[in-house]
Structure 1
Amino acid sequence: MDNKLHLDTDTCRWLKARFGLIYLKDGLAPFCDDVAKQQQREILNHIKQTKKLLTVTCSECDLGTLKPDHEKTDNKCPFGQKYCNCCKTGCKIACRNKVCGAIYDKIITSHVTKAPNWKNTDVKKWTNDSWSIAKCFIYTGGYEQKSSAADTDCAGLLHVIINNTYFHDRIGCKITGSDVFTKVRTYRNEIVHTSTMKLEKVRLDTYIDGMIAVLHDGKELKGKQYVQDTVKKLEELKNEDFIITSQRRECQIVLADMKTLKKNIDKGLEDINNSIEGLATKDACEKLERQISTLESIVSKLTEEVKRLGTDNSADKEQSNYENLKKDLQKRLIKLYKKDVLRMSAMPLEQESDLNDFEDVYVRPRMTIAKKDKKEDKKEVDVLSMSDIFTNDDESIKSVYVLGEAGSGKSSFL
């Protein structure tokens, strides 16, 4: 029985697109790290000068109680933020070092929509960690533990570039919503969220060309050596002969070895043919012809062996890589649900604050199942386990209806 996973061409193209996202991240990370450090440095220098401070540092403030430097006007945030600290009830404490409130304001004014994602950041790190400021510009959650640009995926890096106006001054492209950075962010979502994990060549080329266009931005990115090296890797992914393995370096080695072998073979055959043309004796010609035949036979066997080894090795490693990707996806989904989904307020009237772990505040309701006996009389049976809900006489139930009064806990249970 053949237990190897043989991937079809369309699936291999999807894997190439995933590699493309990894390459794109490698090309953007150093740039984003440099610009984030520049932004933090300028913010701190501005605060130091305007507030006449000797040092600009703080590790004491908390986001939930931090008082911004700006004040609300007409009971509204002047920046249009719905959940800004200037409007929240409860005691707000101004930064004792006169720093964090000003950074809070600067993050808001640097955001294209004036609505940073505060869940990704830690206020206590703002003055000594530039990436803690940059993460406020990542729209989605799940990045609170990411400590650097190198530790952030390409989606997060693209969010930082697109949503942070400070980055706009470092790229030649104008962010309009239909620009190449925004398109590639959409491409990333299409690649990651496809259910078939297959791609046609024209679609793969579109994705890779978009990634290359991002790195070819003419202001600062294009001229950097690490960006140029990344572009070469992306261009190789468009080659149909590029072999997918679990290690990208092995892909390049296998492809390079096959090209070198072909080059050497062609040169050897050319040299022998030239030698034949220069010989006059019949015996010498026949001898060289036999050598050519032998060489061609050896070359044919070597070529087939290289192809076989490349295919078998690729299939084994692709299977391992595929299984690892599935396990990694499961872990990330569990982590995402625990941190961003399975959180709720203990007080229904305050849904946006003081979120707790679901299991800490959830009270399992008493539930019954409505059944009919042989006489068609309805009766209610208490639910003792999940299997009571989803199975009946050991057979799976396709449709389950949950009924109850308002506020009885239906949504929380689901």
Structure 2
Amino acid sequence: MATAQTICYRSDSYRNWVRGSVGLGYLQEGLQVFAETIVQTEHRNILQRIGKCGKCSIESIMPAHAKQGHCIQKNRRRCNCTKKGNIYCAVCSKTYDEIIIQHRFIDPNWEIDSAGLFSDHWQFAKCFMTTTKKESNNTAAETDAACLLSIIINGNFFQAELDTIIDGENDIFSQAKKVRNAILHSSKLELTEDEVTEYLKTMIDVLQDRKVLMNDKAAQTAVTKITYIMNTKFVITTGIEKSAIESAQRSIKGTGELCENGLKELTSQSLAEISRAKEDAIDEIEKNKPKDRNASGAGIAIGQDTKTKEQ
């Protein structure tokens, strides 16, 4: 089967890119439980403090701060206080303001399913994602590393659970988000050995934050996996390769749908280049399949026994 074949014949720089993409998957696994636990706690605290409604939609709420005559959201054009005809609700209007206040950059994302805001903690979490859509990222499990990092960076309520001081630019979590973008927005699908090593180390540093993550089981399991692919050569199956390329495509598409007009042309160009790279990669895989079923290359495949070392 094609998914059992390896891509040892591919360039080292391309294999490094696949390693970086695999590392991002492990980073997502390591952050998921931590992020969801903190979000659940904060969501519950807000409901206990302000109350529940569930009848209003985000689009129809008039924020509580509208009565003060000035907007508290950074991007005023995205705030409901500028809309005529919106309705004040004793619960929803205060919750709207609370979400703005809890956002590090006072600029929440309102592309959420407002019907679930009071019953579903992950709709609350989506307010702290930099980019998302109503129909995507609706559970922690389906939320990628970039969005999990955005929630942690943008949600002020995460700071108490971190040893790292988040500044939104130079802290390790913000650096990890830049690493993710560098890997998945790479149209050439190539990384040097130094680049992939640096990127994987950044992921490990995130998961070893000394306050909570250092003792989080899922985070430390992910550290073990990332450390392995950083220090050990392994066989990358064509299934893993295809998954890595498709992950990059989904990332570019997701960004393109929400990016500013000035970036759309660049995004479309990158997406086209990745699509061509995918077609070329799959064609080459088919042409270079080992005829001997035992000629699977040196090393081990992800998901196999990690005790088997490269020969």
SS at match of 1:198: coil
Please tell me whether residue 126 in structure 1 is matched to residue 117 in structure 2.
Answer: yes
- Matched residue count: 255
Partner of 2:138: 147
C-alpha separation in 1, matches of 2:222 and 2:97: 36
User: Counting strand residues as a fraction of each chain, which structure ranks higher?
Assistant: 1
Structure 1 residues 335 and 237: CA distance shift in structure 2, 3 A? closer
Which structure has the larger Rg? 1
Partner of 1:390: none
Shift of residue 126 of structure 1?
A: 1.3
Partner of 1:41: 44
Please tell me whether residue 83 in structure 1 is matched to residue 77 in structure 2.
Answer: yes
- The correspondence of residues 133-282 of structure 1 with structure 2, limited to 5 A, is 133-142=124-133, 144-176=135-167, 177-245=169-237
C-alpha separation in 2, matches of 1:4 and 1:86: 53
Structure 1 residues 144 and 76: CA distance shift in structure 2, 3 A? farther
Shift of residue 340 of structure 1?
A: 4.2
Please tell me whether residue 9 in structure 1 is matched to residue 3 in structure 2.
Answer: no
Q: Which whole-Å deviations, capped at 9, do the CAs of 1:238-272 have from their partners, x for residues lacking one?
A: 12422222xxxxxxxxxxxxxxxxxxxxxxxxxxx
C-alpha separation in 1, matches of 2:254 and 2:130: 18
Structure 1 residues 233 and 86: CA distance shift in structure 2, 3 A? closer
- Give the alignment's Cα RMSD to 1 decimal: 2.6
Shift of residue 67 of structure 1?
A: 1.5
Shift of residue 57 of structure 1?
A: 2.8
Structure 1 residues 226 and 342: CA distance shift in structure 2, 3 A? closer
SS at match of 1:76: coil
C-alpha separation in 2, matches of 1:166 and 1:211: 22
Give the conservation status (yes or no) of the 8 Å contact 1:180–1:210: yes
C-alpha separation in 2, matches of 1:76 and 1:36: 29
Give the conservation status (yes or no) of the 8 Å contact 2:103–2:128: yes
- The correspondence of residues 362-401 of structure 1 with structure 2, limited to 5 A, is none
**TM-score normalized by structure 2?**
0.74
Shift of residue 100 of structure 1?
A: 1.6
C-alpha separation in 2, matches of 1:79 and 1:333: 28
Q: For structure 2, which runs of at least 5 residues remain unmatched after alignment?
A: 262-311
Q: For structure 1, which runs of at least 5 residues remain unmatched after alignment?
A: 48-55, 246-317, 344-414
Shift of residue 4 of structure 1?
A: 8.6
Shift of residue 175 of structure 1?
A: 0.9
Shift of residue 224 of structure 1?
A: 1.4
- The correspondence of residues 338-353 of structure 1 with structure 2, limited to 5 A, is 340=258
C-alpha separation in 1, matches of 2:250 and 2:143: 17
User: Counting helix residues as a fraction of each chain, which structure ranks higher?
Assistant: 2
**TM-score normalized by structure 1?**
0.57
Give the conservation status (yes or no) of the 8 Å contact 1:63–1:123: yes
Give the conservation status (yes or no) of the 8 Å contact 1:67–1:85: no
Give the conservation status (yes or no) of the 8 Å contact 2:18–2:241: no
Partner of 1:93: 87
Partner of 1:63: 58
Shift of residue 9 of structure 1?
A: 1.6
Which residue of 106, 116, 119 maps to 1:114? 106
C-alpha separation in 2, matches of 1:20 and 1:188: 10
Kindly provide the amino acid, as one letter, of the partner of residue 47 in structure 2. L
C-alpha separation in 2, matches of 1:335 and 1:210: 24
C-alpha separation in 1, matches of 2:179 and 2:134: 20
Q: Which whole-Å deviations, capped at 9, do the CAs of 1:319-350 have from their partners, x for residues lacking one?
A: x444455556556766766x54799xxxxxxx
Shift of residue 209 of structure 1?
A: 0.8
Give the conservation status (yes or no) of the 8 Å contact 2:184–2:251: no
* Higher normalized contact order (CA 8 Å, seq sep 6+, divided by chain length): 2
C-alpha separation in 2, matches of 1:118 and 1:12: 38
Identity rate, percent: 30
Kindly provide the amino acid, as one letter, of the partner of residue 76 in structure 1. H
Structure 1 residues 175 and 143: CA distance shift in structure 2, 3 A? farther
Structure 1 residues 198 and 334: CA distance shift in structure 2, 3 A? closer
